[in-house]
Structure 1
Amino acid sequence: MRRSGDSEAPAGSSLTARARDGDGEAFRQLVEPHRRELQVHCYRILGSVQDAEDVLQETLLAAWRGIGGYEERASVRTWLYRIATNRCLNVLRAGARRAPGRVAYRPEVSLPEPTHRRAEPSWLEPYPDALLEEIATRVPGPEARYELRESVSLAFLTALQELPPRQRVVLVLRDVLGFRAAEAAKILETSENAVNGTLKRARATLARALPGAGRESAPLPKSPAERRVVAEFGRAFEAGDVDAIVALLTEDASLTMPPLPLEYHGPAAVRTLLSTAAMSGGRQHVLIPTRANGQPAFGCYIRDPRTPILHAHGVLVLTLAGPRITGITRFVDNALLTVFGLPRSLRD
């Protein structure tokens, strides 16, 4: 089966016919090439890896149950996107999917007053680069505005979560995936005019929320420039050297800790947080390098002075601007470590 564009290989019709006849293996071969990109699609809209996986499973189940009604008027890929998109919208309409099961995070130490407080917690989670690599070969549609790396960055996803559900979905379909207005309208069962109007409003809101165009771009992933700043940060963080960490920051750098609705803007505010909370009491950290959302990241652990055990302490993701750090995002949910293949504890 071909992977580029929205077309299906000649064998696609044969697979579809067999799937309609109840051949589970034929159905698997039909949908498997689209599984990972569908999960990333749901992740962009919902902001949660687990929620995205749940909706993906619902999508595949609905597709299996509905394969008999699939008439091949659109490609299998577009058909699956239609199912997944509308299920994501249902989740957003119903409110936070897992909110009842989410326990409010209570910091181990008191935190200094932030420079900004969000109105509500942010349930955005990081997405492992190891999974993104599985869809790196697909080329977005002809009308896409964002490359894969940009469309999964934390800055983009944070801004995306601020959009109303319908605007969020339309912008992803049109500007990230590159579906034409007519295709997006069919997916959403609406008119092209409605899609175009919604997209215009979404673009305007996103433009205000994203970092300024004048900011220096991040170095290429795994480039010498990126490795240099990441190594310097890692050494400074493990040494508890707040001055060295702050020296790596841009003047507009920020530190956030999802889901806490607290934001610390500027080197002075970040310094205060690090010195009075993260590095207080002689805490010693160990960072395990990984990657998330196309950005350098670490699994974070704290040494236990009484035992040779390193305890999980969330996931850190760095946003770079040129040779410096413009964003530090510490995801406080220790369960996220397993998504990156990291254990909840290590022996020192």
Structure 2
Amino acid sequence: MSLSPSPAEPDELFRARAGDTAAFDRLVAPHRHRLHRHCYRMLGSPHDADDALQETLLAAWRGLASFEGRSALGTWLYQISTHVCLRLISQRPWRRESPDHAPPLHTTAELGEMVTGPIWLEPLPDDDAPWRGEAHEDPAATLARRESVALAFVAALQHLPGTQRAVLLLREVLEYSAAEVADMLDTSVASVNSALQRAQKTVRERLPAVSQPAELLSLGEDGLQRLLGDFLSAWDARNVQALVRLFTDDVRFTMPPLPSWFDGVADVEKFIAERVFATPWRMRPLWANGQPGYACYMKAEGDDRFRLGAITLLSVRGGRIAGLHSFLDPALYRRFGLDEELS
């Protein structure tokens, strides 16, 4: 990751220190997106990341006079944002997935009540096309960038204490040295190395053997398009058996903030047949966290329109669908810029 200053940075820094807010905005603009993604990985929610980024930039503006330039501006901003996130982690409940909240259901008659509040892991909309990296980015860098926001990775991070979370991200995602991280967190190199080892062990135990971006890369664009085409055709036809043939035996169907979820192909098949397909649906493709998915529009009885009811991301393993992760919180829909209804 390059944090080298731009040729105009010293001049903008001088102007910003003199109180020029426009110069400050130009100074931090190249860093905003990466800072937001860092905050998202730390906090597991794009909404919480919004709060953290806003607080980071406010703290940077107020503390600009104390920035002496001994480190890159980006490093200083990451230091501020990490401490903001650590404080928020200490004040807010951790973001979890459905299996962290309750055991799976085996019957579909009663799905329970919505569990509201900031407790659920939330998806992050993708900011580029699914098969295109950033300009001049090599394939390995593109894969690493997608792995850093993969849903399973962000979920695993939430099981770490705040400091371990920060150390893992600063060392392995942002690639700072142990000495740099120790300076950023005001601790020792030995403490950083110890925290990193503990964090690596916890995350390794929670991650699949092959990351989701690597699974998609192995499947290839043509293979993925065939899989998604078969999925959509079966879904539109309400062909449960055709869907089941696309699933792994241990497929999961989750739907936060509804706490109920289903584990295994038999129970997922039952849920889709008995509850999901009781309602007509229309699907529109989208991408989030480097994973394919759909905006799901449902048509209630007596309604003449399809209204947005879920954002569903698919997890793929070995060329089959291993997870359907439906997010039912309407606050997420606005972030994806989705139409609320279809005629």
Using the size of structure 1 for normalisation, the TM-score is 0.84
Q: 1:210-263: per-residue Cα shift (whole Å, max 9, x none)?
A: 113599942339811111111211222232222111110122322222234444
Structure 2 CA distance for partners of 1:169 and 1:46, relative to 1, 3 Å: same
Report matched runs for 1:49-68 at 5 Å.
49-68=46-65
Q: 1:153 is matched with which residue? A: 150
Report matched runs for 1:188-203 at 5 Å.
188-203=185-200
Letter in 1 for 2:243: I
CA distance in 1, matches of 2:123, 2:58: 26
Q: 1:31-53: per-residue Cα shift (whole Å, max 9, x none)?
A: 00010111111111111111111
Q: Which residue of the other structure, out of 2, 6, 24, is the alignment partner of 2:3? A: 6
CA contact (8 A) 1:5 1:139 kept: no
CA distance in 2, matches of 1:46, 1:274: 32
Q: 1:129 is matched with which residue? A: 126
Q: 1:104 is matched with which residue? A: none
CA distance in 2, matches of 1:15, 1:259: 44
Letter in 1 for 2:248: T
Q: Which residue of the other structure, out of 215, 221, 224, is the alignment partner of 1:223? A: 221
Q: Which residue of the other structure, out of 288, 297, 301, is the alignment partner of 1:301? A: 297
Q: Does 1:250 find its partner at 2:248?
A: yes
CA distance in 2, matches of 1:33, 1:213: 32
Q: Which residue of the other structure, out of 266, 272, 294, is the alignment partner of 2:270? A: 272
Q: 2:100 is matched with which residue? A: none
CA contact (8 A) 1:319 1:328 kept: yes
Q: CA deviation at 1:156?
A: 1.1
Q: CA deviation at 1:323?
A: 2.1
CA-based RMSD: 3.0
CA distance in 2, matches of 1:43, 1:253: 26
Q: Does 1:205 find its partner at 2:197?
A: no
CA distance in 1, matches of 2:26, 2:49: 21
Structure 2 CA distance for partners of 1:215 and 1:124, relative to 1, 3 Å: closer
Q: Which residue of the other structure, out of 314, 324, 343, is the alignment partner of 1:318? A: 314
Q: Does 1:340 find its partner at 2:340?
A: no
Q: 1:236 is matched with which residue? A: 234
Q: 1:300-343: per-residue Cα shift (whole Å, max 9, x none)?
A: 11013423211221100011124211111011112212111102
CA distance in 2, matches of 1:159, 1:286: 32
CA distance in 1, matches of 2:146, 2:83: 25
Q: Does 1:70 find its partner at 2:67?
A: yes
CA distance in 1, matches of 2:164, 2:109: 35
Q: 1:29-80: per-residue Cα shift (whole Å, max 9, x none)?
A: 1100010111111111111111111111111111111111111111110111
Deviates more, 1:89-98 or 1:53-62: 89-98
Q: Which residue of the other structure, out of 276, 279, 282, is the alignment partner of 1:286? A: 282
Q: 1:107 is matched with which residue? A: none
Q: 1:35 is matched with which residue? A: 32
CA contact (8 A) 2:150 2:212 kept: no
Letter in 2 for 1:16: L
CA contact (8 A) 1:249 1:324 kept: yes
Q: 1:167-225: per-residue Cα shift (whole Å, max 9, x none)?
A: 11111111111111111112211111111100100000111111135999423398111
Letter in 2 for 1:152: V
Structure 2 CA distance for partners of 1:87 and 1:131, relative to 1, 3 Å: farther
Deviates more, 1:221-230 or 1:321-330: 221-230
Q: CA deviation at 1:138?
A: 9.2
CA contact (8 A) 1:34 1:77 kept: yes
Structure 1 counterpart SS, 2:324: strand
Q: CA deviation at 1:132?
A: 8.9
CA contact (8 A) 2:45 2:95 kept: no
List, as ranges, runs of 4+ consecutive aligned residues in structure 1 with deviation greater than 6 Å: 131-135
Q: 1:77-96: per-residue Cα shift (whole Å, max 9, x none)?
A: 01111111111111110123
Structure 2 CA distance for partners of 1:65 and 1:341, relative to 1, 3 Å: same
Structure 2 counterpart SS, 1:147: helix
CA distance in 2, matches of 1:40, 1:137: 18
CA contact (8 A) 1:170 1:195 kept: yes
Q: 1:91 is matched with which residue? A: 88
Letter in 1 for 2:147: E
Deviates more, 1:304-313 or 1:184-193: 304-313
Identity of aligned residues (%): 41
Structure 2 CA distance for partners of 1:121 and 1:15, relative to 1, 3 Å: closer
